[in-house]
Amino acid sequence: MNALFPQGSTRKAVIGMVHLMPLPGSPRFGGDAAAIRDAALRDALTLAEGGVHGIMMENFGDVPFFPGRVPAHVVAHVTAIAAEIRRRLPDVPLGINVLRNDGRSALAVAHAVEAAFIRVNVLSGARVTDQGIIEGIAHDLLRDRAQLGASDVQIFADVDVKHSAPLAARPIEDEVADTVERGLADAVIVSGAGTGKPTDPQHVRAVKAAAGEDVPVLIGSGVNDRNARQLIDAGGDGFIVGTAFKRGGDVAAPVDAARVRTFLQSLA
């Protein structure tokens, strides 16, 4: 698929999270935009030093999140920071997630800075979330990607996404099929109930069975060096790691290179 999933490789991709501090315009913005950029760059460099295979950046501090499109100033700041990370780490695949579900802005940022992938929480279907009902954006996002000629920007889409509930219960196999076959996701993400919450191996197994061998399945929350092997055995092809890489396991703390190295060593 790309540098994260080399053809024929058995390596499990590890993507480390760069959680942006509250951006200008958000309720918790601290008044220093340069400090946000510096913290993001520090975390990105630490992740790379620890040996991750990719990095994903998101506007994690911008609570409460917009359910759909974010303001232009958010896109501008995310783009500026992403461009700086790309400049410093040109060989590390970068991903963009614009919370809560602004995949179209994430794609625009990714295209502008030559990032490798984006994450979309609700690509297909609809979910009840703390932002209300969020509806899938595949019909707009895939047309944006075609118009931009950005087919090299991969779309990683959640199924049964965290911090949400279905409008009506559906078999996970059906949700995966719709996300891949009708939403045209390049990879799917399966998570626990919330940020840092463990992902059920049985859930992973069901998602992988539905996705098939050609569609990577990423674990999106709650992974650490103690449960990673179990999740691989269940069918996980890679991991998106945030909390476990932070100092003291605190999602609000800086990335700790020693924790990153320990996790990577557990997969060796």
Per DSSP, the residues of 143-154 read HHHHHHT-TTSE
Query: Alpha helices, DSSP H only, in the chain?
Result: 33-50, 72-88, 103-113, 138-148, 172-177, 201-211, 228-233, 257-266
Q: Residues with Cβ < 8 Å from 87, sequence gap 6 or more?
A: none
In whole angstroms, give the CA distance from residue 142 to residue 137.
8
* Bridging pattern class, strands 126-129 and 117-120: unpaired
Look at residue 175 in the predicted model and tell me its pLDDT.
94
Domain boundaries, the chain: 13-266
Look at residue 141 in the predicted model and tell me its pLDDT.
98
Place of tokens 């601290």: 30
Query: Alpha helices, DSSP H only, in 68-163?
Result: 72-88, 103-113, 138-148
8 Å CB contact between 69 and 81: no
Look at residue 1 in the predicted model and tell me its pLDDT.
52
Tell whether domain 13-266 is in CATH 3.20.20.70.
Answer: yes
Look at residue 176 in the predicted model and tell me its pLDDT.
96
In whole angstroms, give the CA distance from residue 81 to residue 72.
15
Nearest by Cα to 105 from 151, 140, 136, 129: 140
The tokens describing 139, both together, are 């019909």
pLDDT tens column, 55-91: 999 999 999 999 999 999 999 999 999 999 999 999 9
8 Å CB contact between 58 and 98: yes
- Global pTM reads 0.95
What is residue 223's DSSP assignment?
Answer: -
Look at residue 36 in the predicted model and tell me its pLDDT.
98
Look at residue 115 in the predicted model and tell me its pLDDT.
98
The tokens describing 37, both together, are 């950029």
Look at residue 130 in the predicted model and tell me its pLDDT.
94
Q: State how far the alpha carbon of 217 is from the alpha carbons of 24, 45, 159, in Å.
A: 34, 26, 10
Q: Residues with Cβ < 8 Å from 207, sequence gap 6 or more?
A: 159, 172, 176, 188, 190, 217, 235
Low-confidence ranges of the chain (pLDDT < 70): 1-2
- What are the φ/ψ torsions at residue 239 (nearest 5 degrees)? -140, 140
